[in-house]
A and B are shown apart, each in its own frame.
Chain A
Amino acid sequence: MEFDLQRALDNLQLNAEWVGLRQVSEKAATRYVRDGHPEDNQISRTQGVMVEVLANGQFGYAATNQLDPQSIQAAAEDARNQAIAAAPWAVHSFTPAVRPKAVGQYSSLVQQPSNAISVSDLVGLMTQVCETLKVSDKVVQTSALAQTVETEQRFVSSNGSDVYQRFFFVETDYTATAQEGTVTQKRTDNGQLARCYQAGLEVFDPGAVLARAQQIGQQAVELLSAEECPTTTTTLVLAPDQMMLQIHESIGHPLELDRILGDERNYAGSSFVKLSDFGTLVYGSPLMNVTFDPTVVGELAGYAFDDAGMPAAKEYLIREGLLLRGLGSLESQARAQVPGVANFRANSWNRAPIDRMANLNLEPGTTSFEAMIGSIESGIFMESNRSWSIDDYRNKFQFGCEYARRIENGRLTTTLRNPNYRGVTNQFWRNLVQVGDRSTLGIYGTPYCGKGEPNQVIRVGHASPVCAFTNIEVFGGAA
């Protein structure tokens, strides 16, 4: 990062209670191949500075991509003017305590750097993925996406913060669409863009990538002649690549303190969880242990400090089914007077931080996959999210998956297509009856968690073992 952020801070002429500068510089390379032909090859760069000023107990911000001292001074004055104009109407009077001094560094763990594979070799691999996905003429469309992102972030403040964090993200998506007559089925690599990690180009091991592509193509074709998922109430077993979505929508979002405080009621929605529920609400069965953990190496949303300067640490949100803690930043903790976590995050330099998920994980249990399936007389095993919808209080959900199999007499049997299920959050989690052991754990993520006004999409990670739930409504596609 060439711009001297500390010097820009030192040179500011401003009367304020606190000032912070957060610079973000990001370079993303996208390689997208469809049906073996290049669809998009793009290098995107963005950089800018968010100036935050605390004046009269109110934060104001100004974001600019003009990185020179005069523009930073002008932005700081804009931010201060915003704070002063809004202070008489402030939802809460803040102090610099919600921006503690933070000093440190972080870097994603990378085995192979971004130049380890040439552009032509990476595009060539994506082309090979398309060729491998097309296992038969019934596969009518194939696509392969590889995106690498390098993000540098520095945060300095008037109370001595100096944090430098460097992230490397690799995000991939391989898709086969198969068609026969009026039936169309799509299969992806654990769900759309679910394979997102903090990692280097070691992710693109050709042997592993092409083996997965082969299976994706075969399963897309297999789904064409599969039975429709039946309409029934049964035991539902979810793979980690669907648990990711289940955790995200029915645990992550309802536990965000800014939703509970009402900030999101005009957009993403509120929550069925009340502030008084922390420490008392039985969220799910005693097998349910949920952690907020930005320290998991390789998971998508790892970091050392959030954008308020709060050090990141693993925290139990739910332990043995009991709700303990919310997803709330120092600002939300000050407003709500309940414990929170280091989750004040902005998606770039041009948005102010808000309460977000980071890595939100379901801790493993003790049951092997074989033992879990073996214990179920009748049920359905679903994999890979393809549809998601939940109400604005995060109660009534309906999720769809790409691929399912029947469980009959302790064995996985016939393949089912268009599997869906629905439920109500607390009832669903209270029906959690088996949690897989560490051997069943899968780590996934999404770069597209949307929230906030103005809107922001941010990267979140979710790790989970395979889980079993009883008495769940399942059903198939359109009649």
Chain B
Amino acid sequence: MSRLAPWEDSFEQLCSLLLSSLTPNEQLSIDLAGEHSHFMRLNHAKVRQAGTVTDGEVTLRLIHGQRTATASLSFTGNTAIDSAAALDALRDLRQELPQLPEDPYLVLPQNYGSSHEVYPGQLLSPEEAPEAILPLVQGVDFTGIYGSGEIVRANANSAGQRHWFATETFFLDYSMIAPSEKAVKATIAGQAWDADKFQAQVEEAKVQLQSLDRPVKTIAPGRYRTYLAPAAIAEILGMFSWGAISESSLRQGGSALAKLREGKTLSPKFTLSENFSRGTVPRFNSLGEIAPEFIPVIEAGKLTNTLVNARTAKEYGVASNGASSSEGLRAPEISPGTLSAAEILAQLDTGLYLSNLHYLNWSDRVGGRITGMTRYACFWVEQGKIVAPIQDLRFDDSLYTFLGQNLEAVTDFRAFIADVDTYGSRSLGGALVPGMLIRDFTFTL
């Protein structure tokens, strides 16, 4: 840890100052999110944009009686600057609280126990990254994003709890594009740059590219046997975090999984869990709660647990399992099945092999219906043999069907699909998912 290592002391000093300035009737929780990141945007195996971002944000939640309000502000690591700004924010919150109504679902800070996790990495310096990466991809149309550096998450509160999570990671999320404009999409991510591993990935992708550089076959809309590779399944899994598995969305009429609560089931081949044992994301949430290391969510098709945070728990009188404020999946994994990689094409027989899906949305949330597009390396398969890449197709189907009676098989292997989102800040974690073979998957355009 280089640039952000001193932040732990700075954060601790800031917390001590703020907590010691509280009046007896006040309670406070303090969250920190920060990063020092190097980004390099690539196109045509060249650099489009490159730079660094050093950013930190501290969020204060002040409670007095039954009222609460939140302030977020820059965290720079400079104790004098951060202290002055945070005390100003605290003053603003004190002025604001009397103007707000009481919050019946207020969650008070608790001491659930403290944690300290630091995962150092071996990363390329920003200056050496172009020379380390780009020579390996010359001669192919390579586009994507390289992100690297330190990420910090921390939490403290007036009940005495302290959490610190720091990690050094990198990702290179890329597409290698054939003249046909079809592409092989891949990611390499971790805590130590491995040039040999990356080169092996690139060489394997070059072979796959040859199979894509063939005339594209147009497939008519209809229902087809379809293999969804792990990256495609990760896209579908992402929908579970958007108005689906959240307890509050279920209670408030916004969940696509309401029918599971009413007793409907998915295929017994489908099992979904939250598993924090991989250590890629912190278990604590913004309320300071700590999620269990393992949460079964859907077991053999039956809804076992929704994701619940303390606020939802208080509102509806249920138990919290330390979910995030949005009650989305943070460390998801889908259990493997029995279909081996070698058997995929044979068992698919005639149908579609889809590497990736794109731009998913609920077309009828209550009905669990999802629409989206095929993307990247997608093929028409006949009698177990790849025939041709396809012109992209739109699907529109209900998860109650394609993860229900039409889920024919789940692969016996899984892939870790790293979360490479960088909206506002670099994301942590990812999903561990298998591939799936679906009967009669519905394509509409």
- A residues lining the B interface (CB < 8 Å): 37-38, 40-48, 58-66, 75, 78-79, 81-83, 85-86, 88-91, 118-120, 123, 127, 140-141, 177-179, 182-184, 186, 261-263, 265-267, 269-270, 350-352, 354, 387-393, 396, 398, 400, 418, 420, 422, 424, 450, 453-457, 477-479
Contacts and interface: CB of A to CB of B under 8 A. Distances in A.
Contacts of A450: 423
Interface string B67-92: 01111111111100100000001001
The residue in B44, B46, B52, B128 that gathers the most chain A C-beta atoms within 10 A of its C-beta is B52
A265 B72 contact: no
Contacts, number: 249
B127 A81 contact: yes
A59 B49 contact: yes
A90 B47 contact: yes
Contacts of A420: 363-364
Nearest to A353: B49
A450 B422 CA distance: 11
Nearest to A391: B373
Contacts of B253: 140-141, 177-179, 184, 186
B404 interface: no
B360 A389 contact: yes
B158 interface: no
Contacts of B73: 44-46
18 contacts: A37-B101, A37-B105, A46-B72, A61-B52, A62-B51, A64-B54, A65-B54, A79-B52, A85-B126, A90-B46, A123-B100, A184-B254, A390-B359, A390-B373, A398-B445, A424-B445, A477-B367, A478-B369
Contacts of A177: 252-254
B267 to A, nearest CB: 18
B70 A82 contact: no
Given A91-B46, A389-B360, A45 B394 contact: no
Nearest to A183: B366
Contact of B43 (A178, A182, A263, A269): A263
A453 B100 contact: no
Contacts of B412: none
Interface in B19-53: 37, 39-41, 43-53
Given A63-B53, A63-B55, A37 B103 contact: yes
Main secondary structure of the interface of B (DSSP, over half): strand
Given A47-B74, A83-B50, A38 B101 contact: yes
A279 B72 CA distance: 48
B57 A184 contact: no
B48 A60 contact: no
Nearest to B49: A352
A266 B74 contact: no
B186 to A, nearest CB: 10
A140 B253 CA distance: 7
B99 interface: yes
Given A45-B72, A91-B44, A389-B372, 9 more contacts: A43-B96, A60-B51, A118-B99, A177-B253, A265-B143, A350-B53, A387-B362, A400-B364, A478-B368
Interface string B269-288: 00000000000000000000
B40 A86 contact: yes
Contacts of B190: none
Looking at B128, B371, B375, which has the most chain A CB atoms within 10 Å of its CB? B371
A266 B144 contact: yes
Contacts of A400: 361, 363-364
Given A262-B43, A454-B422, A478 B52 contact: no
Contacts of A269: 358, 375
A422 B96 contact: no
A354 to B, nearest CB: 8
A81 B50 CA distance: 10
A391 B48 contact: no
B361 A389 contact: yes
Contact of B41 (A387, A453, A479): A453
B49 A61 contact: yes
A265 B175 contact: yes
Contacts of B47: 58, 86, 89-91
Contacts of A88: 130
Contacts of A424: 445
Contacts of A40: 70
A91 B69 contact: no
B324 to A, nearest CB: 14
B196 interface: no
Given A58-B47, A63-B54, A266 B364 contact: no
Contact of B72 (A42, A75, A392, A478): A42
B366 A478 contact: yes
A66 B426 CA distance: 19
Contacts of B358: 269, 391-392
Contacts of B104: 37
Which of the listed residues B130, B183, B258 has the most CB atoms from chain A within 10 Å of its own CB? B130
Nearest to A121: B99
Interface string B127-167: 11111001000000101110100000000000000000000
Contacts of B57: 46
Contacts of A37: 101, 103-105
B317 to A, nearest CB: 16
A477 B367 CA distance: 7
B69 A266 contact: no
Contacts of B72: 42-46
B318 to A, nearest CB: 17
A175 to B, nearest CB: 10
Contact of A262 (B44, B131, B364, B372): B44
Contacts of B147: 454
A127 B37 CA distance: 41
A393 B375 CA distance: 10
Contacts of A44: 71-73
Given A388-B361, A396-B373, A422-B444, A263 B48 contact: yes
A420 B371 CA distance: 11
B306 interface: no
B394 A398 contact: yes
A434 B381 CA distance: 44
A143 B392 CA distance: 38
Contacts of B421: 455
Nearest to A269: B358
Nearest to B40: A86
Interface in B175-201: 175, 177, 181, 183, 185
Contacts of A478: 364, 366-369, 398
A91 B46 CA distance: 5
A51 B39 CA distance: 14
Residue of B93, B131, B366 with most partner-chain A CB within 10 A: B366
A86 to B, nearest CB: 4
A37 B68 CA distance: 12
A388 B361 CA distance: 6
A354 B39 CA distance: 14
B69 to A, nearest CB: 4
